[in-house]
Every structure is written in C-alpha cells, then in structure tokens.
C-alpha cells in the first residue's frame, strides 16, 4: 500500500482534531449545563453523551415537576391555614416569626409584612406571655388585649432543620363572658334561694320551740307561705328561661290574636293587682294577628305589666297601648307613673337578677328575671325592647314587632 500523501494525512488529522474539539466543546457545554442544574434546554450532543444528556434532563424535569407539586401542596396548606378560625404563628429556634396568618396578626396587633423575622418576645410584652416563652415544654396562658381575652398555646417541636415552635391564638372573650355569667347566675340563684330558706328555717324553729298564741302562729305561717311562694315563683321563672334557651325558634306560620292577647294580659293584671292601681288598655284592631308562640308573647307582655304594677306606688296608673310605627312595624307599650329608673341602670335591666334597688325589689316580690325573660322572647321572635324612663316621671317599656309578624285577619283569609 502506498504511503498517504502528506496533504491527505494532514487533512485526516485536522478532521479528527476538529471532531475532537467539537465533542470537547459540546462536552464542556453539557458539563456547564449540568453545573447550572439543567437551566434551559439541554445542549445538542451525540453518541453516549446524548444518552447521558437525555437521562439527566429527564431526571431534572421530573424533579422540577415534583417541586412544583410540593409547592402547590404547600400553597394549598397555607391557604387552608389562612382559613383556620384561630391565629397561628410558626417560630424558629430563636423565637423569630417565620409565618403567621392574618387572624393572628389581627388578634395580636401585628403586620404580616412588617413583623416576619421579628422576635415575638419584642412584639408581645405581656408578663404571662413572656413567662410562657421561657418554658421549654410550652403551655397555655390567657392575656388581655382590650377588648379581647386571648388564649395562647405554645407547642415546641424539632425536625432536621432544628427546633421550632407553633403558637396558637384563640379568642376566648365570649367563652370567658359566658363562664362569668354562669358563675354569677349560680351565685345569684343560691343567694335568692338562701334568703327565703333562712326565713322558713327560722319560723320552723320558732314554731317547734316556743309556745305561740294563735295570732302569732298564723302570722308565722303567713310569712312562711310568702317565702314559699317566692321560691316557687323563682323556680318557675328559671324553668321558663331554660325552656326559652333550649327550645327551637317559634314557627312563623302560627298566628294568634293580638287583640285577645292584650285583653288577657289586662284581665290577668287586674286580677293580680286587686284594685291597687288604675290599669287601662287602649285596644288595638280586633282583627290584628301576631305570628309566633302565643305562650311566649303572653309571658313577655305579662311580665312588663306585672313589673309596672309592682314598682308603681299604690294609686298610680299603668297604661297598655298599641300603635303602628311609620316603618310598618307595630308597638305594644306599657307605660307607668312609677318613680322612674336612673339612666345608668337602663342598659343592664335585662340582665338576670339585675335590680336597681334589690331591697325594694324583694319587698315587692320580684325575682329579677322578668325582663330577662322578655328579652329572650323578643330575640326569638325578632322583636325589640325599647326602655325609656326619667326619675320622677315614670317608665315606658315598648315592644317593637317586625312587620312580617303582623297581619289582619282579612289579609290572612285572602292569602
């Protein structure tokens, strides 16, 4: 075989060198692309490098898809936590805020954008909270941020990235108010029952140990009967309140005669009063009907009439009236000529056992629950109680009834 000409050999060497440099350049591009973690499309290579580039790019795309899926799950979780009805904060090992939802920000007076990466101890300085953050095991405390009462629960945990903590914030204002109301209610009931029981016990001991004349014995028995009646009335009012709180709302399609209801309350008031006051009734239209529970409506109006008679001095006047309001609602009013109520007491009159003058209330036989019953009845029927009073000029208690709960009998028949 003849030797290759020099030019041919040089051409072959040049071609091989070109191929080697081209592949080296492509290999370098591939390596740089891999170093950049697959940013952009893979460079064009051939041979074994093409297979390597294909597999590497496939693995990168799979990893990116997994990351995108995880980011979606994380965003979904954060959206769910934002919808959580309580406040949540995630703290790192240094108690710096890593994440918080908007409810926590609102409850604690924080700003999401401003307070991220801030130390929670520098933002909340309540002594109870500072003491909670010092506990390694976490715990629960209640702090006050007017007008809220907040329960803070700290739970510490650890993972591969180090220790962290979750802070749960709950608004317990209403719960604490209800607990206080229950506590006050039990205390008031105990006090109200203890007084007549003490009287009954005293008279029983007197009857057992002392020789009494017939007149003294009758007087003692009469006092015992009054105290027993007082306890019976108290229990009856308590049962009424319990029934109102636990019963379903009255149906809107049950209709009763408002005319007959007011007539009944007027007659009951006259019978109980026995002529000590002037009790008048300004009749409403005979065909006017009212929707709801008849017994509850009667209880509300009868309580207002009974209160007016009880607190109006003998010889005074109590007037029952009906009228239409300009907005289409109706109003049942009970007006008296009693001593009136100081303005500072009016907002609390419907609280259970609240009395402007407790000694005078007990002397007149009141339980302190009448207006609480009225409030519950009206709330169940969507009605409103308006109280107006001035010292020395009497009081006005007005029940304002929604338009949709009033109908004339003729309209009902046509419907």
CATH 3.30.450.20 holds for 84-171: yes
- For the chain, the domains span 6-79, 84-171, 175-246, 249-414
Q: Which of 158-172, 214-228, 318-332, 336-350 bottoms out in mean pLDDT, i.e. has the lowest?
A: 158-172
Using the predicted structure, report yes or no on whether residue 79 has a pLDDT greater than 50: yes
How many other C-beta atoms can be found within 10 angstroms of the C-beta atom of residue 288?
20
Using the predicted structure, report yes or no on whether residue 26 has a pLDDT greater than 90: no
Using the predicted structure, report yes or no on whether residue 408 has a pLDDT greater than 70: yes
Q: Which of 39-53, 87-101, 207-221, 332-346 bottoms out in mean pLDDT, i.e. has the lowest?
A: 39-53
User: How is residue 258 written in tokens?
Assistant: 């408002």
More confident residue, 51 or 403: 403
Mind listing the pLDDT tens digit for each residue in 36-47? 665 666 666 665
User: How is residue 178 written in tokens?
Assistant: 């209800």
Query: For all residues of the chain together, what is the average pLDDT?
Result: 82
Please enumerate in sequence order all residues whose Cβ is within 8 A of that of 144, keeping only pairs 6 or more positions apart, or say none.
126, 150
* 3-class secondary-structure state, position 402: coil
Give the pLDDT of residue 333: 94
Could you give the angle at the alpha carbon of 128 between the alpha carbons of 123 and 131, nearest 5°?
Answer: 85
User: How is residue 108 written in tokens?
Assistant: 């604690």
Give the pLDDT of residue 414: 41
Q: Are 374 and 388 in contact (CB under 8 A)?
A: no
Give the model's confidence band at 22: pLDDT under 50 very low, under 70 low, under 90 confident, else very high. low
CATH 3.30.565.10 holds for 249-414: yes
Give the pLDDT of residue 413: 42
Using the predicted structure, report yes or no on whether residue 13 has a pLDDT greater than 80: no
Q: Which one, of 280, 286, 290, 349, lies nearest residue 319 by Cα?
A: 280
Give the pLDDT of residue 415: 44
- C-alpha to C-alpha distances, 19 to 12, 28, 354, nearest whole angstrom: 10, 14, 101
Adjacent-strand bridge partners of 99: 90
Mind listing the pLDDT tens digit for each residue in 237-286? 888 888 888 778 888 888 999 999 999 999 999 998 888 999 999 877 88
- 317-324 and 384-389: which strand pairing? unpaired
Backbone CA torsion sign across 144, 150, 151, 155: negative
More confident residue, 365 or 60: 60
Give the pLDDT of residue 197: 85
Give the pLDDT of residue 318: 94
Helix boundaries (H) for 36-136 = 48-83, 102-108, 112-115, 120-123, 127-133
Distance CA 169, CA 107 (A): 8
What's the half-sphere exposure (Cβ side, CA atoms, 13 Å) at 362? 10
Give the model's confidence band at 9: pLDDT under 50 very low, under 70 low, under 90 confident, else very high. low
Helices (H) and strands (E) in the chain, counts: 13, 13
φ/ψ of 51, rounded to 5, equals -65, -40
Distance CA 303, CA 307 (A): 6
Give the pLDDT of residue 299: 92
CATH number of 175-246, picked from 3.90.1150.10, 1.10.287.130, 1.10.3720.10, 1.20.1070.10: 1.10.287.130
Using the predicted structure, report yes or no on whether residue 231 has a pLDDT greater than 90: no
Is the pTM above the cut of 0.85?
A: no
Using the predicted structure, report yes or no on whether residue 385 has a pLDDT greater than 90: yes
More confident residue, 377 or 412: 377
Mind listing the pLDDT tens digit for each residue in 173-197? 888 888 887 787 777 777 778 888 8
């Amino acid at each position: 075989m003849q030797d290759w000409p020099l030019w041919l050999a040089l051409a072959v060497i040049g071609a091989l060198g070109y191929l080697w440099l081209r592949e080296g350049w492509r290999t370098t591009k591939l390596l740089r692309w891999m170093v950049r973690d697959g940013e952009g499309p893979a460079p064009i290579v051939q041979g074994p490098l093409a297979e390597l580039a294909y597999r590497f790019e496939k693995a990168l795309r799979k990893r990116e898809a997994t990351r995108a899926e995880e980011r979606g799950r994380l965003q979904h979780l954060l959206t769910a936590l934002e919808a959580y009805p309580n406040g949540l904060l995630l703290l790192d090992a240094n108690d710096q805020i890593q994440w918080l939802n908007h409810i926590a920000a609102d409850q604690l007076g924080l700003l999401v954008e401003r307070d991220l990466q801030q130390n929670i101890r520098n933002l909340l300085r309540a002594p109870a909270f500072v003491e909670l953050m010092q506990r390694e095991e976490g715990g629960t405390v209640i702090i006050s941020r007017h007008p809220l009462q907040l329960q803070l629960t700290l739970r510490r945990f650890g993972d591969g990235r180090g220790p962290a903590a979750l802070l749960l914030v709950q608004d317990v204002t209403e719960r604490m108010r209800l607990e206080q109301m229950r506590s006050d209610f039990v205390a008031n009931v105990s006090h109200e029952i203890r007084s007549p029981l003490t009287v009954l016990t005293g008279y029983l001991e007197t009857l057992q140990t002392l020789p009494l004349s017939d007149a003294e014995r009758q007087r003692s028995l009469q006092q015992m009967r009054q105290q027993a009646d007082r306890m019976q009335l108290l229990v009856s009012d308590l049962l009424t309140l319990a029934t109102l709180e636990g019963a379903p709302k009255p149906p809107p399609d049950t209709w009763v005669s408002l005319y007959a209801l007011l007539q009944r309350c007027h007659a009951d008031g006259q019978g109980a009063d026995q002529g000590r006051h002037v009790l008048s009734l300004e009749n409403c239209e005979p065909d006017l009907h009212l929707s709801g529970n008849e017994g509850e409506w009667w209880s509300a109006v009868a309580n207002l009439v009974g209160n007016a008679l009880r607190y109006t001095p003998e010889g005074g006047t109590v007037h029952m009236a009906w009228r239409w309001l300009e907005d289409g609602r109706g109003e049942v009013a009970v007006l008296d000529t009693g001593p009136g109520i100081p303005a500072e007491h009016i907002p609390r009159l419907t609280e259970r056992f609240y009395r402007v003058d407790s000694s005078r209330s007990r002397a007149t036989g009141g339980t302190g629950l009448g207006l609480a019953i009225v409030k519950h009845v009206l709330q169940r029927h969507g009605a409103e109680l308006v109280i107006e009073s001035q010292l020395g000029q009497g009081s006005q208690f007005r029940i304002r009834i929604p338009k949709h709960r009033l109908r004339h009998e003729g309209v009902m028949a046509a419907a």
